[in-house]
Amino acid sequence: MNTEILSVIFIVTAIVVLAYPLGRYISKVFKGEKTFLDFFAPVENIIFRISGIDPYRDMDWKENMKAMLTINFIWFMWAMLILSLQNLFFWNPDNIAAMEPAQAFNTAVSFMTNTNLQHYSGETGASYLTQLIVFCFLQFVSAGTGIAAAALLFKGLANKSGSNLGNFYSLMLKSSTRILLPLAILVSVILLINGTPMTFSGAQEVITLQGDTVNVARGPVAPMVAIKQLGTNGGGFFGTNSAHPFENPNFITNTVEIISILLIPVAMVFALGFYLNRKKFAYIIFGVMFIGYLSLLIPSVYFEMNGNPEIEKMGISQPLGSMEGKEVRFGSASSALWGITTTCTSNGSVNSMHDSSTPLSGMMQMLGMQLNAFFGGVGVGFINMFTFIVLAIFISGLMVGRTPELLGKKIEAREVKIAVLVALMHPLIILSGTALAAHIWASTANPGEILKWLNNPSYHGFSEMFYEFTSGAANNGSGFEGLGDNTPFWNIGTGIAMLLGRFIPIIGPVAIAGLLSQKKYTPESSGSLKIDSGIFGVVLLSVVLILGALLFFPGLALGPVSEFFSILR
């Protein structure tokens, strides 16, 4: 068998094998059971004492969401402050200037919402200090926020009665210190061993073998790359993210980084099984997500390895596949693997330029973000899937004429209304944003000169705009980077998309969990719908595909599908 495909199978298998024990560990952290990292506890207790937070005070869903929004608001203000003043501080050896307001707004929102859409380029737009105390910091706590939100949801599902979902502050801090931090240190060390820089020296001027003078940007790269992968953040130190040889020096780091993207999202599903003691339910959810993930991955690997048909027509060979925008050390199969992994999980880091992917591969990347439920971001991935679970239970209930129930709690009109609203929000943001952008482009005379947005004509140009709003709403952060996106329209437009796409899909499902928690528990009987059966898995997958794919299909037909047929052999 082709070794490139073998590498892909090896990496995917490694993820699942590693995620299972991690899931068990995460469940213990959520429940407050003993773990081998309990030596952190005194540190955490001191932090809580200074902050005046009682970590054992359980709160209901409203209080928890208030806490989440308050602390996120502070993070946003912090990021705005530093980004607007970064030129004044230390750790800025390359004399990077301050960000202008619209770009600072976009960047602050982007890192607070775990999106990491980057309308600046790391080596020219952010000082070392900014990279660490704004980006690296937010990459921890925004991921911690997502994981904590999932923990609140788990608690709501586990409760037989009462309205207490746990303490957001405590869960957020523990998710960061007990789950993210140890893994980030481990991944950082692996990166250092393979040559990723960790230095506070500025760019180094070199005179090349051929005699050219070149400045080589570097910096404190390793710690940020580790957490950007593990926390499904995705924001790279350099503009070209993990395609940059400093961020991702060889195939070993590439393997470790891909595993890091998917590790926690997969582990969260297993954690649910351990937490609720409903392992079979977790396996069904895992199965649905895994089938969805593979059905995007396999075509993408196939198309990238087959190369660009237009280049084949020129009569040269493409033994490595489609290589535009890709690095030789990764090859096309692993670049496709990364492309689908990063878009399915709302990570958004890249090791190849998605703008240059073959048409249907680009479509699979967009679909990963549009469905946004095949593993998804840390914590929020399961939360997104939970919305679909509620809808699937409701629809199954209608079909068989029984009261829809989830784990012994009745699902009634209010919960279904919230779920429908959340599920429709995502396509609404993406489609209306893209429609607005396309309208502005089409109604501007000579848009190429005046707006300077698109790097490619025709169908692909439309895809660039479609991808950008999709990426913002899904809190992904990757891009068809040819898009000239550092303009007020894109900075503010995607900023709003990111905010809505972050907080509505968290607050809605947590509210549902809070409401369910308070309801009367009736033990499951032979009359209840079995949610840990294969049939329910099929219904769930159908709901995701029908809701998602049908809503987005017209847009995809205008972009990548048309492009695909235009270059068919």
Partner 1 sequence: MLKNLKQSLILSLITIILFGFLYPVLVYAFGQLMPKKSSGSPVTVNGRITGFENIGQSFTDDKYFNNRPSAVNYNAASTGGSNKGPANPEYLSEVKARIDTFLVHNPGINKKDIPSELVTASGSGIDPDISPDAAYIQIRRISGIRNISADKLKELVSQNTEKKYLGFLGIDRINVLKLNIALDQLK
CB of 213: closest distance to partner 1 in angstroms? 11
The stretch among 158-166, 378-386, 476-484, 528-536 that binds partner 1 (CB under 8 A) is 476-484
- The DSSP H or E segment spanning 481 is none
CB of 519: closest distance to partner 1 in angstroms? 28
Amino acid at 358: T
In contact, 72 and 135? CB cutoff 8 Å: no
Burial zone of 375 (CB within 10 Å; 0-12 exposed, 13-18 middle, 19+ buried): buried
The stretch among 71-79, 154-162, 285-293, 434-442 that binds partner 1 (CB under 8 A) is 71-79
Which one of 222, 267, 367, 465 is in contact with partner 1 (CB under 8 A)?
A: 222
Which one of 13, 87, 161, 215 is in contact with partner 1 (CB under 8 A)?
A: 215
Which one of 161, 458, 533, 542 is in contact with partner 1 (CB under 8 A)?
A: 458
Touching partner 1, residues 83-122 (CB under 8 A): 121
Touching partner 1, residues 124-143 (CB under 8 A): 124, 132-134, 136-137, 139-141
Q: Which is nearer to partner 1, 316 or 450 (CB)?
A: 316
Per DSSP, the residues of 273-288 read: HHHHT-HHHHHHHHHH
Count of chain residues binding partner 1 (CB under 8 A): 122
CB of 71: closest distance to partner 1 in angstroms? 4
Within 8 A by CB and 6+ apart from 72, the residues are 112, 145, 503
Q: Which is nearer to partner 1, 293 or 330 (CB)?
A: 330
β-bridge partners, 205: 215
Q: Which is nearer to partner 1, 487 or 528 (CB)?
A: 487
Tokens describing residue 115: 């999106």
Half-sphere exposure of 107 (CA within 13 A, CB side): 29
CB of 68: closest distance to partner 1 in angstroms? 9
- The closest of 389, 295, 370, 382 to 551, measured between CA atoms, is 370
The stretch among 150-158, 392-400, 449-457, 543-551 that binds partner 1 (CB under 8 A) is 449-457
β-bridge partners, 405: 410
In contact, 118 and 239? CB cutoff 8 Å: yes
Contact between 456 and partner 1 by CB under 8 A: the answer reads yes
Touching partner 1, residues 185-204 (CB under 8 A): 185, 188-189, 192-193, 195-201, 203-204
Touching partner 1, residues 267-306 (CB under 8 A): none
Q: Which is nearer to partner 1, 415 or 563 (CB)?
A: 563
CB of 351: closest distance to partner 1 in angstroms? 7
Q: Which is nearer to partner 1, 30 or 330 (CB)?
A: 330
Touching partner 1, residues 358-397 (CB under 8 A): 358-359
CB of 374: closest distance to partner 1 in angstroms? 24
CB of 282: closest distance to partner 1 in angstroms? 30
Alpha-carbon span 500 to 511, nearest angstrom: 16
Strands 405-406 and 409-410: antiparallel
Amino acid at 149: A
CB of 223: closest distance to partner 1 in angstroms? 4
Helices (H), 474-561: 488-518, 534-556
Which one of 39, 90, 212, 401 is in contact with partner 1 (CB under 8 A)?
A: 212
Which one of 353, 392, 406, 516 is in contact with partner 1 (CB under 8 A)?
A: 353
Alpha-carbon span 407 to 491, nearest angstrom: 43
Amino acid at 427: P
Touching partner 1, residues 300-329 (CB under 8 A): 307-311, 314-320, 322-329
DSSP reduced 3-state for 201: coil
SS (H, E, C) 101-122: HHHHHHHHHHHHCCCCCCCCCH
CB of 131: closest distance to partner 1 in angstroms? 9
Which one of 113, 357, 365, 476 is in contact with partner 1 (CB under 8 A)?
A: 357
Exposed e or buried b for every residue in 235-257, given b needs 16+ CB within 10 A? Answer: bbbbbbbbbbebbbbeeebbbbb
- In which region does residue 478 sit, left (phi positive, over 0), alpha (psi from -120 to 50) or beta (all else)? beta
Handedness of CA 420, 423, 425, 431 (dihedral sign): negative
Contacts with partner 1, 24-53, as mask; x by CB under 8 A: -----------------------x--xxxx
Q: Tell me the residue length of the chain.
A: 569
Amino acid at 515: L
CB of 5: closest distance to partner 1 in angstroms? 10
Touching partner 1, residues 507-566 (CB under 8 A): 563, 566
